[in-house]
Chain A
């Protein structure tokens, strides 16, 4: 599974209130939530994000509230992948569970600038930056996580297994 897109770069401790402010938690679909993704820290994001784009963050990405609305908003906005130095625990589970690939790779983060074109090979665990030509290695997903992502999330994956 190969993903390609341009980088949106943010700093450390991007919290889930920043990803989707609580005032929008009276909604719950990815499409509705995507309209407000990142708006309190980056007003340009919603209008300019393109399908496949990649969010790059620093340490502890997705900290704070357990709201699954946060990865849903990101996925709904068309983002194909999030790469960060590290992830908050609940956000990590939530992203995998809804089928949003998420990779911890500090080297790729350090080498990425806003607008860089990245190619991510999930099976191989590689991230290629077209601007610099650098190829970064991260731990590839184990087969069951890859299965969840390919199925589109934990629920479709579980449903398929139950059949």
Chain B
């Protein structure tokens, strides 16, 4: 009998009575965390009420975060946040994160220790896959599925096949998790992992910070993936220590686990990556984007809004000036990231450079607010999607990159390799 993948073990551990699951099995899975935000919760709440169930299955396990159009960008958004707030109060949901406590959900939950290794997490947001970096099975669903999970504490799933990615070699300077995942999506395409789990492994992974790992897991969905998983190691344990308020379980893929594919990627010659409009799979070395004029640079989001990302950006922006034709918008992912960045002097460096620093919000990533593009405008952005019209007008363009390229490009006014400005 062949062994199991990490994805199979995580799911099986949440199927009561299971002795092991295999890809293709349809199973009912108990969940540890159910998540929704200010744009997906309104539909979930409507469906929840329609189910005729009085209470959520466990108010401790439901997390609601006002992050997409919060602080409220208009009256309709205010109504949506209000509906979620009232639901949280009525149901006794303590993990309701409103303005002042809130952050971008997929920077906030693990920071607050709400998701731990071994968990199964479902969220009404496609980037719920971020928590795979902790060795948890986390996947995005729609509002109706989440309403059912809120009511019952369980959800049906199809056990996915797994593609294992082995990263070998040595990373070049300025090459981080974002570059690795953009390159990977470039290799397999936006549907390359459709319905599957992506498992990130190999010697390079040991050198990645938790921040880099969250970035990579976050973008599994951009290859169609159901989850983006890392095994737990000392970095994971260190990250979780001091945050966890409950016990957690550690699972690992068996050496003889069955994979749909194993893809080996030697990172030694990999340059910082840029994904051209209008698909994340259009990843190319930054040299190929050299000279592309930009109007805006966004540094933040659930992909790259962590303290380590801001440190990379500040390293480049400190003592330099944002190009006069560029609006550079820096968005710390949570209040804690904001406070840490302030205390480290990063916020001062950004403002001295001529960047603006926003309160945490998903804002411009999905064309919501805080930096919408006009027709014909172009942004370099550390966010996760560059679909047509994603950041504003359908005739605007988004180039995806890591924080180093975004910060350097903000200074140059055109997309450049960080070495160009660091000289």
Contact = CB atoms under 8 A, between A and B. Distances in A.
Contacts of B147: 155
Nearest to A99: B144
Given A21-B367, A66-B140, A90-B126, A60 B190 contact: yes
Contacts of A23: 367-368
Contacts of A66: 40, 124-126, 128, 140-142
Contacts, number: 126
A132 interface: no
Contacts of B2: none
B387 A18 contact: yes
Contacts of B43: 28, 68-69, 72
A15 B387 contact: yes
A66 B367 CA distance: 15
B130 to A, nearest CB: 13
Interface in A28-79: 28, 40-41, 59-60, 63-69, 71-72
A81 interface: no
Given A17-B389, A40-B394, A64-B385, A153 B144 contact: yes
Contact of A28 (B46, B145, B226): B46
Most buried by A among B39, B76, B387: B387
Interface in A87-118: 88-90, 93-94, 97-98
B42 A98 contact: no
A26 B39 contact: yes
A94 B140 CA distance: 11
Interface in B128-183: 128, 140-145, 147-148
B59 interface: no
Interface string B339-368: 000000000000000000000000000111
B80 A28 contact: yes
B98 interface: no
Interface residues on B, range: 35 or more
Most buried by B among A15, A21, A60, A64: A64
A162 B142 CA distance: 22
Interface in A142-157: 153-156
A19 to B, nearest CB: 11
B23 to A, nearest CB: 14
B213 interface: no
A156 B51 CA distance: 7
A86 interface: yes
8 contacts: A17-B390, A28-B80, A60-B190, A64-B126, A68-B124, A68-B143, A89-B195, A94-B144
Given A26-B39, A67-B40, A155-B147, 9 more contacts: A13-B279, A22-B390, A28-B46, A64-B126, A69-B43, A94-B141, A94-B145, A97-B144, A158-B51
Interface of B: 39-40, 42-43, 46-47, 50-52, 68-69, 73-74, 76-77, 80, 124-126, 128, 140-145, 147-148, 190-191, 194-195, 221, 224, 226, 279, 366-368, 385, 387-390, 394
